[in-house]
Structure 1
């Protein structure tokens, strides 16, 4: 897998607002949990990358990136509230 595909997948997720970066912790990516945004990101990714990478490889990378995200809230921000 190339770094280019990782960048393209991240851009598709960010541009459709399926994920966002915590404004206080730029190293934390947050999964919004919006199914429509994630579907839109998948379609956008297909349109951008269809000729470059096969479908299954794209979906695996998208699932990996979504799995690496925090769910709904930044865990670092949540720690400070306790």
Structure 2
């Protein structure tokens, strides 16, 4: 009897993350919104950010973030790359 309940608990703990992940939208499903000056962003946690450290000049960046309610958003804006044009 105890073995059955332990096995059931183990299976439930292994399946629960998959069920939760399938019920919430993935970051790939979220449309990218272009940032406009003055736009209000409710950022609780940054999930991903484009790495522009090896790019020069003004380059587009996409930031994926969660708001305070847990919803995932993506916003695109321009920033200076981390490399100067005279670096090899």
So what's the TM-score if we normalise by structure 2? Answer: 0.25
Query: Hey, which of these two has a bigger chunk of helix by percent?
Result: 1
Structure number with higher relative contact order (C-alpha < 8 Å, ≥ 6 residues apart): 1
Higher-Rg structure is: 2
Query: Hey, which of these two has a bigger chunk of strand by percent?
Result: 2
